[in-house]
Amino acid sequence: MAIPIIPSLLRDNLAALAADDQRLDERQRFEGRDLEIEVDCLYNAEGSCRVRMGDTIVFAGVKFQIMTPYPDRPTQGGLMTSAEIRPVCGPNWEPGPPSEQSIEMGRVVDRGIRESGCIDTNELCILPGEKAWQVILDLFAISDDGNMFDAFALAAIAALRTATVPAERFDVGEDYKLPVAGTPIMCSYQKVGGRFVYDASKREELGGDERIHITLGDEGHVHSLQKGLRGVFTAAEFNEIMDTAQSRCAELRDIVHKLEASQ
């Protein structure tokens, strides 16, 4: 990803808006953009989801393959997550191998899911020591207008919760729904104009500073916490962020559950 030159005018404008408790798109500090979620949207995937947050659009696809369990974990399958962001997403993205930013996004999403324990890798075992399912979670973006972390994370868990294990195709039994024991949800905040905001747009990201990504489980437990970029936040700022994250994660979790129930 090319390193953008941040116009000082943009940062000055963001700071002036923050002083009046405003944002570029007239949202409140902790108000998200318009959200659309669609599942079962990729024909060749065993589970899929499209998420649109404002003008940020991403897809998640779930595929399965049979792996040989590792010798020290003979009854466990695996989970592999990757994120791909191509030049079509915006002028700041370049062709070539995965960038540091896309690798980071894949790892942060993977960590939130993995640390939540919502996928029990022991349940992916087919024959101990010989066969197990590997869940392959592919994330890719087609439009970047900021906060792809949350868009990817939401698409990922929705795709997983609606995925079907293709046992019949691999001649190892009947197809069944992938067991997913929880719904971890990520909320991301970025310091813009000297104060943290939720769901930053691309211009807010370009003129902003440090960010924080929080993944919460069904009971409000913290499953992952990732800080990005340079900077610090105070205990008071963190408490405020955590309070809003609890509420927003619960709202997004309800949306995912309603989508799943409608399938």
Per-residue pLDDT reduced to its tens digit, 36-80 = 999 999 999 999 999 999 999 999 999 999 999 999 999 999 999
Q: Residue 4: which pLDDT band, with cuts at 50, 70 and 90?
A: low
In this model, does residue 3 exceed pLDDT 60? no
**Does residue 178 contact residue 135 with C-beta atoms inside 8 Å?**
yes
Q: What is the pLDDT of residue 228?
A: 82
pLDDT cut 70: percent of the chain above it? 98
Query: What is the residue type of 163?
Result: A
> Nearest-CA neighbor of 163 among 52, 63, 43, 44?
63
Mean pLDDT of all residues in 225-248: 90
**Which residue in this structure is represented by tokens 């800080």?**
227
Please give the average per-residue pLDDT across 226-243, as a whole number. Answer: 88
Tens digit of each residue's pLDDT (9 = 90 or more) over 84-122: 998 888 888 888 788 888 899 999 999 999 999 999 999
CB distance 31 to 39 below 8 Å: no
Rounded to whole angstroms, what are the CA distances from 105 to 112, 121, 123, 200, 261?
11, 22, 26, 15, 28
* Average pLDDT of every residue of the chain: 93
Residues 6+ apart with CB under 8 A from 80: 134, 135, 136, 137
pLDDT digits (tens, 9 = 90+) for 199-223: 999 999 999 889 999 999 999 999 9
Identify the band that residue 5 occupies on the pLDDT scale cut at 50, 70 and 90.
Answer: low
Q: How much is the pLDDT for 224?
A: 94
- Report helix, strand or coil for 155: helix
Q: Rounded to an integer, what distance in angstroms lies between the CA atom of residue 143 and that of residue 145? A: 6
User: Domain 8-262, CATH 3.30.499.10 — does that match?
Assistant: no
